[in-house]
Amino acid sequence: MKKILLGTTAIIALGALSSQALAAEKIKLGIGGFMREYVSNVKSDQTKSNTRMKLGQWSNTEIHFKGSTTLDNGLTVAARVELEGDRNGAARSIDVSTLTVSGDTLGAFTIGSMPQASDTFAVKAPIVGPAAFSDVTAWAKFNSTVNDANAITKTNGRGTTSDFVGGNKGNKIQYVTPSFSGFSAFASYDAAQNVDKNAKRAALRSDTGEAYALGVTYDGEISGVALTSDLSRTKYQGGSTSGVNDGDGQTLTRFGLNAGMGGFTVGGSYSHYKGVTRATTTVDSLDGNGWDFGVGYNNGPYSVSAAYNSAKAKGTTRAGDDKFTAWTFGAGYDMGAGVSLVAQYFNGKLKNETPAVATDPTSSTVNGVIGGIEVSF
């Protein structure tokens, strides 16, 4: 009997030690990510002096480090770092770096470098292929005399193509509520949304432009139809009163909805943008709106889609609205083991209502084909 008690005591002691060891164990990061390689052939109606090469190649590679641990009190602490593997501009960079504390009844608090919550939860038209509507200008340059007067393709955290939400991946604070019958609310705050995403810190209040986003999302099923939806409002408080792209009370309101059944997904989104951009001596309106709609179908390893986009915004340098339309067809084949083949056709048209010179073109059109291989790991 004594031996049995001693043996039982030893087992309990070992169990306690094991529990302490497990509780004290640090987060171990796993490695993931993707590598995507594409080639393209693009046709443009530009003049000879502005024409880019018809053939192009694009690489998009990211290495992800992520891991999590659950504490004795039930809270989960997770870390995530996304490293850009390809040169974009001056140098490679850390794309996303976040720390998240979450719980079943607490929701999830995230702090670090990441997109606005309204971008993360945005529901858009289903598209198969590498090019979203806001990517069209990256594949083929529009005629410069048209593009220079266009507010739709302006960057620095703002734009009006229907699938563009805005903001950058700078330092933010984000909160997402627990899910209630498929509904969740979210919010994010950016103290300095014009600061480079690689900056180590962002002042709690700065002259580089605050931004925040509020919204609600739904992910569930009603009568056999899978539904995903979002409704959000993003506000840019503005920063310095000099500089063409500095904001002053700009807002972006958007809504998206997708419905899926039997392999088909149908849906799209609508965005309304309101605000101004301050130059040194002038104040220009950036009011605009855009919408997209698409249909996608997935059957085993095969997937296809067709989508259309229309957007307009007031010109930033001359009177009149600038307009952008695009449509795309895409197809994909999942080869298994994280390897997929994709192909896509796109067509985009940019129109400027009021050219600077009467002889300047008022529109520019591009169309192209993109194909490539995508590997996830």
Q: What is the pLDDT of residue 46?
A: 62
Q: What is the pLDDT of residue 22?
A: 53
pLDDT in tens, 222-237: 999 999 999 999 887 7
CA distances from 103 to 15, 76, 78, 247 (A): 26, 6, 11, 36
Q: What is the pLDDT of residue 86?
A: 80
Give residue 133's domain range: 37-376
Please choose, from the candidates 94, 95, 62, 65, the residue with its C-alpha nearest in 3D space to the C-alpha of residue 79: 65
| Number of domains forming the structure of the chain | 1
Classify residue 125: in a domain, yes or no. Answer: yes
Q: What is the pLDDT of residue 23?
A: 55
Q: What is the pLDDT of residue 250?
A: 77
Q: Nearest 5°: CA angle at 284, between 252 and 245?
A: 65
Q: What is the pLDDT of residue 57?
A: 84
Q: What is the pLDDT of residue 331?
A: 98
Q: What is the pLDDT of residue 82?
A: 93
* Rounded CA Rg of the chain: 24
- The answer to whether 305 and 136 have CB atoms below 8 angstroms apart is no
Residue 49 CA to residue 9 CA, distance in Å, equals: 85
Q: What is the pLDDT of residue 93?
A: 78
Per-10-residue mean pLDDT of the chain, 377 residues long, equals: 48 46 71 94 66 74 94 94 77 82 96 91 93 69 42 36 57 95 96 56 51 95 97 76 49 93 96 66 64 95 95 65 86 97 91 61 80 96
Q: What is the pLDDT of residue 215?
A: 97
What is the phi/psi pair of residue 365, to 5°?
-125, 140
Classify residue 7: in a domain, yes or no. Answer: no
Classify residue 25: in a domain, yes or no. Answer: no
pLDDT in tens, 325-344: 889 999 999 999 999 999 99
Q: Give the CATH number for residue 114.
A: 2.40.160.10
Q: Which pair of structure tokens corresponds to residue 319?
A: 């009177």
Classify residue 147: in a domain, yes or no. Answer: yes
Q: Nearest 5°: CA angle at 169, between 165 and 172?
A: 100
Classify residue 369: in a domain, yes or no. Answer: yes
Classify residue 5: in a domain, yes or no. Answer: no
Counted residue by residue, the chain has a size of: 377
Classify residue 19: in a domain, yes or no. Answer: no
